[in-house]
Structure 1
Amino acid sequence: MVFEVFQKLEAKVQQAIDTITLLQMEIEELKEKNTSLSQEIQEAQSNRESLVNENEQLKQEQHVWQERLRGLLSKMDEV
């Protein structure tokens, strides 16, 4: 009788150890995935900043060209 109780207890302890081991493995996988996703986020933010800067530069260039064009059109109107 006592032997059966110990066998059941041992089985439950082994099951708990197996569950803990699986959960630890899952935690490690999730940590790796989290690290990977964090890197992707940083890259995306960097790309976004680059695109925002490029967009601002292109807007400034467009403004310069518009001013040049207006200047040329006004000179043409004077002629």
Structure 2
Amino acid sequence: MSFEMFEKLEAKVQQAIDTITLLQMEIEELKEQNSALKQDAQQAAGNHESLTRENQQLKEEQTQWQERLRALLGKMDEV
């Protein structure tokens, strides 16, 4: 009977080892996914900053064009 108990214990230990191995592999996959997501987030933040700067520049250009147009309209009113 003692030998049977050792066999059962050995099977349970092997099952635990297999489970641990699978969990470690899953952890590695999740770490890789997390790393990829962090890179995506950093890239998105960089894109956001770039678009914010471009938007600001375009707003400034629009303001300049509006001022030029007002000046031209003012000159036309004088004529």
Gaps of 5+ in 2: none
Percent of residue pairs identical: 73
User: 2: distance between equivalents of 1:44 and 1:72?
Assistant: 41
1:54 corresponds to which residue?
54
Spell out the pairing of 1:1-79 with structure 2 (5 A cutoff). Answer: 1-79=1-79
Partner-residue secondary structure (3-state), 1:15: helix
- TM-score under structure 2 length normalisation: 0.99
List 4+ stretches of structure 1 deviating above 2 A: none
Give the drift of 1:12.
Answer: 0.3
Partner-residue secondary structure (3-state), 1:63: helix
Query: What is the CA deviation profile of residues 6-50 of structure 1, one whole-angstrom value per residue up to 9, with x for unaligned ones?
Result: 000000000000000000000000000100000000000000000
Q: Which amino acid aligns with 2:44?
A: A
Q: Which amino acid aligns with 1:58?
A: L
Q: Which amino acid aligns with 1:16?
A: A
- TM-score under structure 1 length normalisation: 0.99
User: 2: distance between equivalents of 1:51 and 1:5?
Assistant: 68
**RMSD value over aligned CA atoms?**
0.3
Gaps of 5+ in 1: none
